[in-house]
Structure 1
Amino acid sequence: MSNTKEHKIISPKKLIEVALPLDDINAAAAREKSIRHGHPSTLHLWWARRPLAAARAVIFAQMVNDPSETVQGDKRLRETQLKITNEREKLFDIIRELVKWENTNNEEVLNKAREAIKESWRYTCALNKKHPQADELFNPEKLPAFHDPFAGGGAIPLEAQRLGLESYASDLNPVAVMINKAMIEIPPKFAGQAPVGPVPAGEKQGKLVEDWSGAKGLAEDVRRYGYWVREQAFKRIGHAYPQVLVTEGMASEREDLRPYVGEKLTVIAWLWARTAKSPNPAFSHVDVPLVSSFVVSGKKGKEAWVEPIISGDTYQFKVHTGKPDDLAKVKLGTSAGKWKAFNCLLSGSPISYDYLKSEGQAGRMGERLLSVVAEGKSGRVFINPTDEMVNIAKSITPSWKPSLDINYHPRDIKTQIYGMTKYGDLFTNRQLEMLTVFSDLVAEVREKVLVDLESQNNQKVDAQKYADAISTYLAFIVEQVANHSSTICGWNSANTQMRSVFARQALPMSWDYAECNVFSNSSGSFNNLFERMIKGFSSLGDGKVGNVEQADAACQKISQFKVVSTDPPYYDNIGYADLSDFFYVWMRRSLKSIYPELFSTLAVPKTEELVATPYRHGSKEKADSFFLDGMTNAIRSLAQQAHQAFPVSIYYAFKQSESKNEGTSSTGWETFLAAIIDAGFTIDGTWPVRTEKEGRAIGNGSNALASSVVLVCQKRQIDTNSVSRRQFQRELREEMPEALEAMIGGSTGASPIAPVDLAQAAIGPGMAIFSKYEAVLNQDGSKMSVHDALILINRAITDYLNPDSGNFDNDTLFCDDWFSQYGWGQGQFGEADTLARAKGTSVDGVRDAGVIESGGGKVRLLKWSEYPTDWDPKTDTRTPVWEACHQMIRVLNQQGEAEAGSLLAKMPERGEQIRQLAYHLYTLCERKKWAEEARAYNELIGSWHAIVAASHEVGHRGTQSELGLDF
């Protein structure tokens, strides 16, 4: 690689270009999805934030040299290969420890990783000491800085900082910029700073000597001033959130309320239903409720539901406890069923969505209180609505209301079509005033911090910047409260908690909603969200310096000579800018005086956002062209600027995948690959990073593919030429088998890649061949498209895994073809006989091998669960690989990895073929949507390393090579 044509940089191959302990990374990333307390994501919501574990592992592997480049010796010698494998395993061990959540701030683990990075860097610097820019680019005493030009939620720059790199983050979106400032820029500035705010009243003064290392002091001050903000807010707006007095009358028909008579209970939430005028002429003067369900608590033993009591043209709601007689009817509310609208409560007349759109746009929709949820001694208490409760809510007049139009997004934002066209329309008056009060207090708390610092004559801290920092974090809590205080927030009756606005990546229409009491301690309250946010500081630490800017990725100059890892927008999956406006209106109100340039626009910039949204560009074709051109420019900027001693890693969310005969494909995926190649990169690897919880890898009848693919990219040589389609196919045939063997056989020392991930991972070596040339030319002279290249790459994968391409026995070839046609079902004997002859075997012979059942003119394959439990390959005189593979699956499922290892020890020479057949059968099942069958083969490969280890423990006589582990 080179920065100029004359002076080449000597860049040792990095670990990420050769091998990764992918299973360990995926397991840690999936586990992180369940982490709620102490995770920095609790500072502020961001859509599609990368797992910290994955980001940390990718950057580490991107920066350390692969031992094949640094281990001295004759690489043809087995001793050298073993040494490389051992050294690689040491790096894998560092990654395995590094990705564990409990090691997020473990300095011992982090220092091992940092030292490995420094050691690789010093080695690279020594190789390039004669480079004319050595002083600038290869200072062995200083690591290169890091940059993420699509910083988004900040996970990637945060992990670069944690690994010891000075971290730069940039994004066009002001909300993303502020999140990154809060995560990587502000904490290091005040590392070790003791808190300056007064201890909240009623709390005991802390010890004389406290540990204020890292961001602990900053977090404590945010907590102290946040407490003051809540107390001040309660004084100003608390009267709008009164407690409920339980009276004798309320408890007369409710035994569950009897213990609370005379007590005031804290309200958790008010449950409202939107209303519309009845379309029935007889009741057109009545606002009837639009209720998705009358069930308010589905918890076992604590069921509660609402009954509408109708009297002529009026109605009221009454809460009952216990199970209703007609649960199905109660669950339906006034809904007309899935994908349908509603029925009039009074007349039963249908209420269509078109009618509701016209009513909403005419401003004729209202709301009706269904029930009140209060905090009891042992759980939630549901209370009938009263006029007093409604009157208090209606009496509030907001002093400010966001007037920003909600941007049109036909897929993700639905509120405008029902008349809610401005962001202020998404809140009740009470919510608007409450959020305005909190927002105003952010400005007030800044002045309070300055006064406190002045009174203490504290010279150790920049007072203005510290006050700005505290205000920034407290502005975040306003947005978090907004995310839980909107009429988009639904009520989850199963766990009796409210849903946030962004329970998914959209602003959907909500017909009934929960208005939480922000001054309670339950879900959605200030205290609940604030406590989680404070715990999020624990994973920030002090780290290296962080720098954050607002910048367009297509024209930024920040990446110059920096290590780059980034997570760009995903084609058309998420409209970040459109959704961000929800937070921006409150963030701008709170922080415009502190960051005037960042909040100079009324809304989040959208024109330059690299998302393929047809509604914004006029057509799908124009949107595709905009995305491809813009992404190509942005990636080209990285190819030209990034430090050439390191590959660039780019994440892509693989969420539009389709499994077809020609393999895995997606419009967004192909467009993204084309942008990277057109920008001047070669693609050296594609690593699938799964972030779903365990058990969701395969489901719903099809393969749930990796939620992210990390592409490893290098700048393409300037003097590359074009090749023919025939030459490209020849290179695929010559090079893909070795690459695939490394992936499925683990010859690099890593665990074999699971079948569920193989389709994406195998694209890497195929695209490495395709992208290293200026172009691959078809017979007519036209340039081969990425789509066509992917078809050929997927075909090469299929050809390699096909038993016909290897030395498989005839019985296995018969079973494979039969399975492809019938699965575990029956077929005609005549067809089986014809197929068996073609494969060089016979139906009787395959039956004698013990893998099929034949009789009554029918033939079927035996399922693995039907295989005999006393099977011994040493005494079996006819053992097709098919039988050995399915016996391995049986033992693994029924007895575990140790016994499967014992079985493998009896037939080590079969290991390679068993593994290859499992990959092939998984691929076949995945394409046929046979989810259960696919799972069995995926689990066998997933356990392969453990099975092999167990086979060694029982003292088999086979070699590692025989087991498909040829190092």
Structure 2
Amino acid sequence: MAEIKTPKKLIEVALPLDDINTAAAREKSIRHGHPSTLHLWWARRPLAAARAVLFAQMVNDPGYQQGEGFKYGVNKKEAEIKREKLFQIIRDLVKWENTNNEEVLNRAREAIWESWRETCHLNRNHPQAAELFNPDKLPAFHDPFAGGGAIPLEAQRLGLESYASDLNPVAVMINKAMIEIPPKFAGQRPVGPLPQGEKQGKLMDDWSGARGLAEDVRRYGHWMREEAFERIGNLYPRIKITQEMVAERPDLKPYQGQELTVIAWLWARTVKSPNPAFSHADIPLASSFLLSTKKGKESYVNPLVEGHNYQFEVCMGVPPAEARNGTKLGRGANFTCLLSDTPIDPKYIYAQAQSGNLGQRLMAVVAEGKSGRIYLTPTAEMEQAASAASPDWKPDALMPENPRWFSPPMYGMKSYGDLFTPRQLVALNTFSDLVQEACYKAIADAKAAGMTDDGIGIDDGGRGATAYGDALAVYLTFAINKLADRGSTICTWDSSRSSTRNTFGRQAIPMTWDFAEPNPLSDSTGNFMGGIGWANDVLSRMIPSSGGIAVQQDAATQNISAEKVISTDPPYYDNIGYADLSDFFYVWMRRSLKSFYPSLFATMAVPKAEELVAIPYRHGTKEKAETFFLDGMTQAIHNMADKGHPAFPVSIYYAFKQSETKEGATSNTGWETFLEAVIRAGFSIDGTWPMRTEMSNRMIGSGTNALASSVVLVCKKREIEAESISRRDFQRELREQMPDALEAMIGGETGTTPIAPVDLAQAAIGPGMAIFSKYEAVLNQDGSRMSVHDALILINRAITEYLSPESGSFDADTQFCSSWFDQYGWSTGPFGEANVLAQAKGTTVDGVNTAGVVESGGGKVRLLKWAEYEADWDPIKDNRTPIWEACHQMIRSLNNQGESAAGELLAKMPEKGEPIRQLAYHLYTLCERKKWAEDARAYNELIGSWHAIVTASHEVGHSGSQAELGLDF
């Protein structure tokens, strides 16, 4: 078969990783208009990371032209200058405010087209040129594990026709809502009537993108809310502030005689008292009695015990200390009886729940006042209104017996329907039924507005009025799922924000003991229109530039990937039970959308047997679950290797869960196993880029390793005729090729934005694994195949050797300091030992002392910390300035005075810029290995600020080579 010429892509060589990670971290705090708010999904990748990875996957690296057979000749400096221009596109591309900036997006699209046409030109004589290399049409994109849809959405934004597939129907619907439906109705004017009392705004003449669709979601959502109020408004009565209430609570005086809308009812679950003398009583299991902790608006529940009975009253003011924990004792399901102080242990609660004795008691009512929340003592009428609800249907799909993710089944709550109160079920049923009615209404309105109609539904490819009504039903259903997430008995009250927490505060459904029941018909926390608002915000910002298709397919057997660019985020081992968790939404989605998507919602629950997660309870044992996962994942990855477009690498996200240090290298058993699976599937690995894609304060990550993130693997199909090499030859190639690769990553001579030291260890594995994985095998001396684990040790050793001052590119004083630091850190050591080491390095202790970097006396030697260095140090006047001193003076200046002062210092010693930076990388790696976190942070911050420092040094006006400074402008 004729050889395909595949220029190296930017992602195989270098990335402005710090800029990408900064944007990804910032994005996690952005809510309004972010596509992730359209519908909840677990462990989404940030759009910034997905966009940057896809762009770098599509554009040629400027250095590729050096290879034989390519058209242009480019030297290293010219390549780095061109690479910096691509980096600048990425820096602009990843900013949230540029998400829909057409000028920025067009620059990225033009760069993609330019690279694609170069590739097509190189392969113009290939036998499959017409099929694979059409210079007038970009290849399409496919994500076989589409999940929450971030990657397919960004491929579409960059101008590629986007295909998304997933086994999970909920994920498929999310992808349809993001990449398939909006392009079909781009530019469509809204057809629904404005809500009563509203007037057409002057700014509502622009219906480009999906704005018209977004507006109709709002209009029909409003209609649904009004219809629901007519049907079930009696279940959500207002509360009247009476004279008697004001007599007890003078703060209610401004509201006397008014009827206030209740926004939430706060309940505590109950069990019978374990004390025989009080066995008649339903005892509250309240984890807190706090209602509001906002300063000046403090409020709490005060339980009033009267003999064998109790009641709740709401009090204003600073709560007593005991209110914080309610009736809870310590961790877990441990409580105390409110009437007798008898402990209530988990086993008793479990037995009561299994016997059907788990009840609930209203603790407080939250109403909406003119100046904020008003907390009120509950009334008998309020409890009666809740008990009057009688749903005619509830989901009977069972939750799995897996307490790791689902604890309610342990307490008698077996089905997803058991997670809701009768009143919540009535509300969800009502809104679900209204979806169908809204759809019919929208179809009629669309026809009346002049939209053509072919009578074909959206699932069958329709684009007329019928399909438009179906499309609106999707987004209205998403709002119902938002309502379910905010309106189950798993939702608790957040006293610090005076709001309800949602069901999925983490990737599980835990048991909760007190819960908040929001009013779906209100305008406050947990209401139906809140979900409509999120959908409107997302859709109004969508400007689809190409089409998209989302289908239900198993990644291991799908055939969509053929000749497409592939980027994907597969499930990681057993971290998240996507299928089990998404049943919570599927049961409501199926009720509303089955008639529109009959094949997608044909099953009673989400398909689980083929889901690629290692869950022991599904497979019998942990070993069988692991085998299932690895075999299935290998097959899925092999499918990608076999079908993907040959001109592009495949990018695969890996959830790097936790790290450990072994033999000076960052390694991980799951990580190594995954690399083995990728290689076994037929890929070589050309890059490993760490992306900080998780929030540092996420609930599931509290207390876990700080390095937790995603690692993007850059993979290419291994040549069929790949040969084997010896361990010695592998080490030789590492020595020959790793220095150039590391130089490109840390900035090279002209200093493109360097990779931060915290990321270098992981990123540098890429070029090492590229050498290892391009061969059929690396053979040890005894003929056995080298494992990934052993290869990683050798790769990390090569990285250390390159960065180490022992490499010979550093002065003797610095080599001494580095070795001494490795042995003693900032502690003292014996003079004799220091003297021997100094002589071995070609210096003396007195000489190093004269340089001003050590303290020597009393038979002891100690390195000075940067804070102890002279504040008025001037390298021009210093006649003995080792790189060690220059590096730590830079840290001192940066910490004390900032980037400008550090830049002024660098301007006086431009020739030391590159060695300073290399030493900082080395010392960071050393400190990380020894777990010296504070010291590691200082070196990491120096590199992180390097770009700004160099910029500041240029502004000072001192002469010096830009290349020596580490940045070329």
Q: TM-score range by the shorter chain?
A: over 0.9
Pairwise CA distance, 1:957? 4.1
Deviations 1:466-497 (A, max 9, x none): 11101111111111110000111111111111
Letter in 2 for 1:951: S
The corresponding residue for 1:3 is none
The corresponding residue for 1:949 is 951
- CA spacing shift, 1:266–1:848, aligned 2, 3 Å: farther
Q: 2:36 aligned with 1:41, yes or no?
A: yes
Letter in 2 for 1:641: K
Mapped to 1, the partners of 2:965 and 2:901 lie a distance apart of 16
Mapped to 2, the partners of 1:256 and 1:395 lie a distance apart of 31
- CA spacing shift, 1:131–1:394, aligned 2, 3 Å: same
Pairwise CA distance, 1:731? 2.0
Pairwise CA distance, 1:78? 11
Letter in 2 for 1:466: Y
The corresponding residue for 1:414 is 407
Pairwise CA distance, 1:456? 4.2
Deviations 1:344-397 (A, max 9, x none): 222222222222222222221111222111222222211112221111112211
Deviations 1:609-651 (A, max 9, x none): 1112223222332222211111111111111111101111111
Mapped to 1, the partners of 2:293 and 2:544 lie a distance apart of 45
Pairwise CA distance, 1:701? 9.3
Pairwise CA distance, 1:847? 4.1
The corresponding residue for 1:372 is 365
Q: 2:403 aligned with 1:401, yes or no?
A: no
- CA spacing shift, 1:784–1:411, aligned 2, 3 Å: farther
Q: Which of the residues 90, 99, 104 maps onto 1:95?
A: 90
- CA spacing shift, 1:702–1:222, aligned 2, 3 Å: closer
Q: 2:337 aligned with 1:344, yes or no?
A: yes
User: Superposed, which structure 2 residues align to 1:617-656 within 5 Å?
Assistant: 617-656=619-658
In the alignment of these two chains, the number of paired residues is: 958
Q: Which of the residues 252, 257, 260 maps onto 1:257?
A: 252
- CA spacing shift, 1:313–1:846, aligned 2, 3 Å: farther
Pairwise CA distance, 1:342? 1.8
Q: 2:448 aligned with 1:446, yes or no?
A: no
Deviations 1:144-202 (A, max 9, x none): 11111111111111111111111111000000000000011111111111111122111
Pairwise CA distance, 1:8? 1.6
Pairwise CA distance, 1:693? 6.1
- CA spacing shift, 1:124–1:839, aligned 2, 3 Å: closer
Mapped to 2, the partners of 1:429 and 1:201 lie a distance apart of 31
Mapped to 1, the partners of 2:360 and 2:928 lie a distance apart of 48
> Is the partner of 1:36 in helix, strand or coil?
coil
TM-score (norm 1): 0.94
Pairwise CA distance, 1:810? 4.6
Structure 1: stretches of 5+ with no match in the other structure: 1-5
Higher mean Cα deviation, 848-857 or 144-153?
848-857
CA contact (8 A) 1:214 1:541 kept: yes
The corresponding residue for 1:429 is 422
Mapped to 1, the partners of 2:704 and 2:431 lie a distance apart of 47
Pairwise CA distance, 1:76? 15
Mapped to 1, the partners of 2:273 and 2:725 lie a distance apart of 70
The corresponding residue for 2:59 is 64
Q: 2:561 aligned with 1:563, yes or no?
A: no
- C-alpha RMSD over aligned residues: 2.7
The corresponding residue for 1:758 is 760
The corresponding residue for 1:490 is 492
The corresponding residue for 2:716 is 714
Q: 2:18 aligned with 1:26, yes or no?
A: no
Q: Which of the residues 350, 356, 375 maps onto 2:349?
A: 356
Mapped to 1, the partners of 2:703 and 2:329 lie a distance apart of 29
- CA spacing shift, 1:850–1:319, aligned 2, 3 Å: farther
- CA spacing shift, 1:389–1:72, aligned 2, 3 Å: same
CA contact (8 A) 2:749 2:963 kept: no
Mapped to 2, the partners of 1:879 and 1:44 lie a distance apart of 59
- CA spacing shift, 1:857–1:394, aligned 2, 3 Å: farther
The corresponding residue for 1:10 is 5
Pairwise CA distance, 1:863? 2.9
The corresponding residue for 2:383 is 390
- CA spacing shift, 1:357–1:837, aligned 2, 3 Å: farther
CA contact (8 A) 1:689 1:706 kept: no
CA contact (8 A) 1:317 1:384 kept: yes
CA contact (8 A) 2:659 2:705 kept: no
Q: 2:194 aligned with 1:166, yes or no?
A: no
Pairwise CA distance, 1:251? 2.5
Q: Which of the residues 904, 918, 932 maps onto 2:934?
A: 932
- CA spacing shift, 1:58–1:525, aligned 2, 3 Å: same
Mapped to 1, the partners of 2:724 and 2:108 lie a distance apart of 41
Letter in 1 for 2:395: P
Pairwise CA distance, 1:875? 2.3
The corresponding residue for 2:458 is none
Identity %: 68
User: Superposed, which structure 2 residues align to 1:821-832 within 5 Å?
Assistant: 821-825=823-827
User: Superposed, which structure 2 residues align to 1:685-764 within 5 Å?
Assistant: 685-692=687-694, 704-705=706-707, 707-747=709-749, 750-764=752-766
The corresponding residue for 1:553 is 555
Mapped to 2, the partners of 1:670 and 1:418 lie a distance apart of 39
- CA spacing shift, 1:363–1:75, aligned 2, 3 Å: same
Mapped to 1, the partners of 2:464 and 2:484 lie a distance apart of 31
The corresponding residue for 2:780 is 778
Pairwise CA distance, 1:821? 5.0
> Is the partner of 1:653 in helix, strand or coil?
strand
Mapped to 1, the partners of 2:222 and 2:881 lie a distance apart of 72
Mapped to 1, the partners of 2:608 and 2:11 lie a distance apart of 34
Pairwise CA distance, 1:790? 1.9
Mapped to 2, the partners of 1:683 and 1:76 lie a distance apart of 26
> Is the partner of 1:962 in helix, strand or coil?
helix
CA contact (8 A) 1:689 1:710 kept: yes
Deviations 1:8-64 (A, max 9, x none): 211111111122222222222222112111112221111111111221221111111
Letter in 2 for 1:413: F
- CA spacing shift, 1:789–1:83, aligned 2, 3 Å: closer
Pairwise CA distance, 1:590? 0.7
The corresponding residue for 1:53 is 48
Q: Which of the residues 168, 175, 181 maps onto 1:180?
A: 175
The corresponding residue for 2:287 is 292
Pairwise CA distance, 1:853? 4.2
TM-score (norm 2): 0.94
Mapped to 2, the partners of 1:936 and 1:813 lie a distance apart of 20
> Is the partner of 1:374 in helix, strand or coil?
strand
Pairwise CA distance, 1:435? 0.5
> Is the partner of 2:418 in helix, strand or coil?
helix
Higher mean Cα deviation, 137-146 or 727-736?
727-736
Letter in 2 for 1:520: S
Q: 2:381 aligned with 1:381, yes or no?
A: no
Q: 2:302 aligned with 1:307, yes or no?
A: yes
The corresponding residue for 2:226 is 231
- CA spacing shift, 1:932–1:266, aligned 2, 3 Å: farther
Letter in 2 for 1:513: F
CA contact (8 A) 1:833 1:843 kept: yes
Higher mean Cα deviation, 135-144 or 838-847?
838-847
Higher mean Cα deviation, 396-405 or 266-275?
266-275
Q: 2:900 aligned with 1:905, yes or no?
A: no
Mapped to 2, the partners of 1:695 and 1:468 lie a distance apart of 39
> Is the partner of 2:248 in helix, strand or coil?
coil
Mapped to 1, the partners of 2:852 and 2:572 lie a distance apart of 50
Mapped to 2, the partners of 1:824 and 1:388 lie a distance apart of 71
CA contact (8 A) 2:290 2:495 kept: yes
Higher mean Cα deviation, 455-464 or 483-492?
455-464
Q: 2:114 aligned with 1:114, yes or no?
A: no
Mapped to 1, the partners of 2:188 and 2:702 lie a distance apart of 51
Mapped to 2, the partners of 1:302 and 1:909 lie a distance apart of 61
> Is the partner of 2:476 in helix, strand or coil?
helix
The corresponding residue for 2:612 is 610
Letter in 1 for 2:494: N
